[in-house]
């Protein structure tokens, strides 16, 4: 055997142990990705999921199957993902409803919002908007607060349901302003908006993407918004903080999460992929039409946000003696 041949054989043999590791690293994904949407079609979680799934297309080498599994304030779908521990092909859009409010509002929640998930990246944020009907003679937060102080408990505000982010933001505002508002829960945003436009209730707390069309059409008037900064979609509408009620500041947030127990390298790959999607012009343009800011928090920061929000809403729910429907 020549020296050249021997060297070639030794080089090839040295490379053999690396081959299985490389194959294992490239094995994911090796089947379609199941993307759980824990709310009905056309809602925020559904729109974000389908926007991101469209962006990925064949980028990951496997199809993405978006599956709507609504129910129990988003907890039914979240539980499917929680119980898929270690499954690197099951993912979801997590949210304030399923991971910040529901777990501290409802009894017997079937999952732990932290321990049962690996939280990858925030996806989107948008404000709750304080809206009044077209015939309500209130133009500013100061005027609304003065009216509520003059008529304690008589001013009602609607939301799309008891224990929703919009309901709880109304509770935060009432506490910050030292006023008493009476909450009127509806079964969804559509009937709540119908009643405020018809003058059946004077005030509504609603998410910007849901309310934007009616606001822009002049059927409802936006008075203030809950995020720390004004929305680019409603640049003339002040924030609660600008109106003097910083303690009422809140954000509707959504993120990307996978089951706990997924290999760290797969979680890291997802974090990289989601960050790239959110930075893409395709996704940013779509989000802009909805009045939505793309998320900026990576895995550690997004997990910390969820932990903070659980503590915050637990205290708000306790203080307001708020119960699930």
Where in the chain are the domains?
A: 31-125+251-319, 128-248
6: phi then psi, degrees, rounded to nearest 5:
-60, -45
Give 319's pLDDT tier (boundaries 50, 70, 90): confident
| Two domains, one topology: 31-125+251-319 and 128-248 | yes
pLDDT at 160: 87
Could you tell me if 283 and 264 are in contact, meaning their C-beta atoms sit under 8 angstroms apart? no
Confidence band of 325 (pLDDT split at 50, 70, 90)? low
Check residue 239 and report its DSSP letter: B
Q: What are phi and psi of 283, to 5 degrees?
A: -75, -40
Please give the average per-residue pLDDT across 188-197, as a whole number. 92
Looking at residue 71, what is its pLDDT? 85
Q: Is the model's pLDDT at 159 over the cut of 80?
A: yes
Strands (E), 38-178: 64-68, 90-95, 117-126, 128-132, 156-159
| Among candidate residues 259, 254, 255, 257, the one with its CA nearest the CA of residue 82 | 259
Confidence (pLDDT) at 73: 80
Give pLDDT, residue 2.
Answer: 53
Mean pLDDT, the chain, whole residue set: 90
Pick the CATH number of 128-248 from 3.30.365.10, 3.40.50.2300, 1.10.1470.10, 3.40.190.10: 3.40.190.10
Question: Which residues, including other chains, have CB under 8 Å from residue 71's CB and lie 6 or more apart?
Answer: 38, 77
| Cα 184 from Cα 190, distance rounded (Å) | 14
Strand order in the sheet with 90-95: 64-68, 33-37, 90-95, 252-259, 117-126, 293-294
* C-alpha to C-alpha distance for 71 and 324, rounded to whole angstroms: 14
Half-sphere exposure of 52 (CA within 13 A, CB side): 31
| Reported confidence tier of residue 324, pLDDT bands at 50, 70, 90 | confident
| Res 172: pLDDT | 93
The token pair that represents 228 in the structure block: 């720390």
pLDDT digits 0-9 by tens, 22-67: 334 458 899 999 999 998 887 888 999 999 999 998 899 999 999 9
Extract the tokens encoding 129: 């908007």
Q: What share of the chain is helix, strand, coil (3-state, %, to 5)?
A: 45, 20, 35
Q: Is the pTM of this model over 0.85?
A: no
Ordered strands of the 182-185 beta sheet: 182-185, 156-159, 203-207, 128-132, 221-225
Question: How does pLDDT run across 102-138, given as a tens digit for each residue?
Answer: 999 998 999 999 999 999 999 999 999 999 998 899 9
pLDDT band at 5 (very low <50, low <70, confident <90, very high): very low
In this prediction, residue 51 carries a pLDDT of: 94
CATH number, domain 31-125+251-319, options 3.30.70.20, 3.40.190.150, 3.30.360.10, 3.30.70.520: 3.40.190.150
């Amino acid at each position: 055997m020549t020296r050249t041949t021997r060297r070639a054989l030794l080089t090839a043999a040295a490379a053999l142990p690396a081959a299985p590791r490389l194959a294992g690293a490239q094995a994911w994904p090796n089947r379609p990705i199941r993307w759980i949407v824990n709310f009905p079609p056309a809602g925020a979680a559904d729109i974000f999921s389908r926007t991101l799934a469209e962006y990925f297309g064949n980028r990951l080498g496997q199809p993405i199957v978006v599956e709507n599994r609504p129910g129990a304030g988003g907890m039914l779908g979240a539980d499917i993902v929680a119980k898929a521990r270690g499954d690197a092909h099951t993912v979801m859009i997590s949210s304030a409803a399923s991971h910040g409010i529901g777990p501290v509002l409802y009894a017997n929640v079937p999952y732990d919002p932290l321990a049962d998930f690996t939280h990858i990246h925030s996806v989107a944020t948008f404000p709750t908007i304080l809206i009044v009907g077209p015939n309500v003679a209130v133009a500013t937060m100061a005027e609304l607060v003065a009216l509520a102080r003059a008529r304690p408990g008589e001013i009602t505000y609607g939301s799309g349901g008891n224990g929703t982010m919009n309901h709880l933001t109304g509770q935060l505002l009432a506490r910050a302003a030292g006023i008493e508002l009476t909450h009127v829960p509806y079964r969804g945003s559509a009937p709540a908006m119908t009643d405020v436009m018809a003058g059946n209730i004077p005030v509504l707390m609603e998410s910007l993407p849901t309310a934007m069309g009616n606001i822009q059409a002049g059927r409802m008037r936006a008075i203030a918004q809950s995020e720390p900064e004004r929305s680019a979609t409603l640049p003339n509408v002040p924030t609660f903080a600008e109106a003097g009620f910083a303690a009422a500041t809140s954000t509707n947030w959504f993120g990307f999460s996978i089951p706990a127990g997924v290999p760290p390298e797969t979680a890291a790959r997802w974090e990289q992929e989601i960050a790239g999607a959110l930075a893409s012009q395709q996704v940013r343009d779509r989000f802009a039409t909805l009045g939505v800011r793309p998320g900026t928090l990576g895995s550690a920061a997004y997990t910390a946000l969820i932990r903070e929000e659980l503590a915050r809403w637990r205290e708000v729910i306790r203080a307001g003696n708020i119960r699930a429907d």
